[in-house]
Structure 1
Amino acid sequence: MGIRHLLPAPGAMAILLIAVTLILLPTASAEASAIVGTVLDKATGDPIEGANVTVSFSGNGTVVAELRTDGEGKFRVDGLSNDVYTVHIEAGGYIGSTGEVLVDSGTYGGDEFTFTGSLSPVTGPGTTAPSSGITLPQFLIMGILVAATSLVLYSKIKRENLLRNAIRRRIFEHVEANPGAHYRGILKELDLPMGVLSYHLNVLEKGKYLKSRQDGMYRRFFLVGRRTEVRFFLSDVQESIMTVIRDDQGISQSNIADRINVSRKVVNYHARILDQAGLIYMESQGREMACYTSERPVSSIP
C-alpha cells in the first residue's frame, strides 16, 4: 500500500494541469475605447493649452470625464464603451463649443476615435467688430454659430465600407427583412441606444442604402431601389377612401367625404397621395374630381 497508488497516472496528471491552466486563463473581453482630441484656436490654428473638456453620455447627460488639454492642446479619455458621447470644450477668452462623438468599436473594442475642436476668440473690451456694418452683439452671435459647427468629427467613411460596421449591417438587414419598419420598432427589436441608432440610420440614408418617409406619427425606413407596395401602409382614412372608390367607380370627392364623414379637403389630400402612389386616378368633371381605382401597376415609394 505505497503512496504511489494515491497519485494520478502521468496522463491523468497532464489532463489535470491543462484543466487548471484553462480555468486560470483570463477570459477575453471587449477592450474599452478612447476619444483622443485636440482643441485649436479657430482664428490662428494654434493649440489651446488648459482648455476645459467635459465628456458625458448623450443619452442621459451623465458626466464621464472632466479634464484639461495639455501643452499641445491635446486630451485623451479612456475606458469608453460603445455609445454616443457629448464633448463640451471651453477656455478663457473663447466661446465654448459642444459636439457629439460616436464610439463604435464593434465586438472587441479598443479603438481610438479622433476629432479636432476649434474655439473662436471672444472680442475683448475696446475691440470692435469687423467694419461691415455689423454690431458687436451680431458679431458675437455669428461667432457662436461658427463655433457650434466647428467641432469637426473625422469619421468620413467610403460608401462601399458602410456595411462593414456590425451595427450598421444589423440595422440594414433588419430593414431589408422588415420594409417599412419604423424607428421605435427598430429601437425595440435591436435593443440599441437611441443616439447610436439615430446616427447609423442617418449614415445609411446619406450613403443611399436606406430611405425613409413620414407615415403619420411614424418614420418608416426602406431599402433604396427596392419596390415596396404602399398599400401595406395605408392609413385608416386612405383605406376607407379606397373601399368607397372600389364600390362606386367615378365617385366624386364630395360624395366620398359624405360617405366617410370627413371634410372634402381631407379627401382631396389623401386622394392625391393615393394617385401619386398609383392606387387611384382622378378625372375632372366640371367642378368635381371623379375617382377611380387604378389598373396601373402599384408604384414603389419614391
Structure 2
Amino acid sequence: MQFIKANPGTHLRKIKRELNLAMGVIQYHLYRLERERSVVSARHGLYKRYYADQGPRIEERAIVNVLFQETERDLILYLLENPRASQKELSQFARISPSSTNWHMKRLSQAGFVEARRERGFVVYTVKGDPGMILSLLRSYHPRIWDKWAERLADLMT
C-alpha cells in the first residue's frame, strides 16, 4: 500500500520489479486491497494502473494514465507548446509515421484530451481541458520529464 501511495498510477510489473516480490504475492495483495477499497485500479491500454483510494481524482487519473504513455505524453506536451499543430508537425516532432500519429491522435481525441479541426484542408489539433492541471500532474508524477520540459513549458504556467 505504501508503494502505491508513493507511486500512484504504477502497474503490476513495475510493482514486482521494484519490490522484488513474487507475482502471485503481489496479485493476492492487490486483490485484497481492491476488495477493501484501499486501492482502486484503472485500465489504460494494456496496463492496469493502481492508485491509493485517496490519490488523484477520477478525472485526474485519466490524465495520469496518458502521461505514462511516452508517445502520447510527448504529443500532448508538444501541443501545449504549439497549439493548432498539424499531423505532419506532430509526426516530425515525435519521429513516427503519419499513420502512427493518426492512431495516437485518434485515441487522444476519443479520450477527450485533444480536439481535431479542419483548417484550410489540414487537420489541426489542440489540447482540451486545463493545461495548468496537465502540467501540475506532470510535475507531480513525472519529475524527471518535468525537469526536461520545464524551461520550454514555463510560459504556459504563467
Alignment TM class, shorter chain as reference: 0.5 to 0.7
Contact 1:238 1:270 in 2 (8 A): yes
Give the drift of 1:178.
1.3
Amino acid at match of 1:211: S
Please list every run of 5 or more consecutive structure 1 residues that lacks an aligned counterpart in the other structure. Answer: 1-171
Paired with 1:194 and 1:248, the residues of 2 have a C-alpha distance of 42
Cα distance per residue 1:138-176 (max 9 Å; x no partner):
xxxxxxxxxxxxxxxxxxxxxxxxxxxxxxxxxx33212
Instruction: Summarize the Cα distance change of 1:260–1:197 in structure 2 as closer, same or farther, 3 Å threshold.
Output: closer
Instruction: Summarize the Cα distance change of 1:199–1:261 in structure 2 as closer, same or farther, 3 Å threshold.
Output: same
More strand by share: 1
Paired with 2:35 and 2:123, the residues of 1 have a C-alpha distance of 39
Paired with 2:92 and 2:19, the residues of 1 have a C-alpha distance of 44
Aligned residues: 126
DSSP 3-state at the match of 2:50:
strand
More helix by share: 2
Question: Any residues of structure 2 matched to 1:272-291 within 5 Å, and which?
Answer: 272-275=106-109, 276=111, 278=113, 280-285=114-119, 288-291=122-125
Cα distance per residue 1:242-283 (max 9 Å; x no partner):
3443443212223322443322232123224444363x4332
Partner in structure 1 of residue 41 of structure 2: 211
Which residue of 22, 26, 40 maps to 1:193? 22
Paired with 2:93 and 2:23, the residues of 1 have a C-alpha distance of 42
TM-score, normalised by the number of residues in structure 1: 0.34
TM-score, normalised by the number of residues in structure 2: 0.56
Paired with 1:273 and 1:225, the residues of 2 have a C-alpha distance of 28
Which residue of 235, 254, 257 maps to 2:88? 254
DSSP 3-state at the match of 2:83:
coil
Structure number with higher relative contact order (C-alpha < 8 Å, ≥ 6 residues apart) = 2
Partner in structure 1 of residue 11 of structure 2: 182
Instruction: Summarize the Cα distance change of 1:254–1:205 in structure 2 as closer, same or farther, 3 Å threshold.
Output: farther
Give the drift of 1:212.
3.5
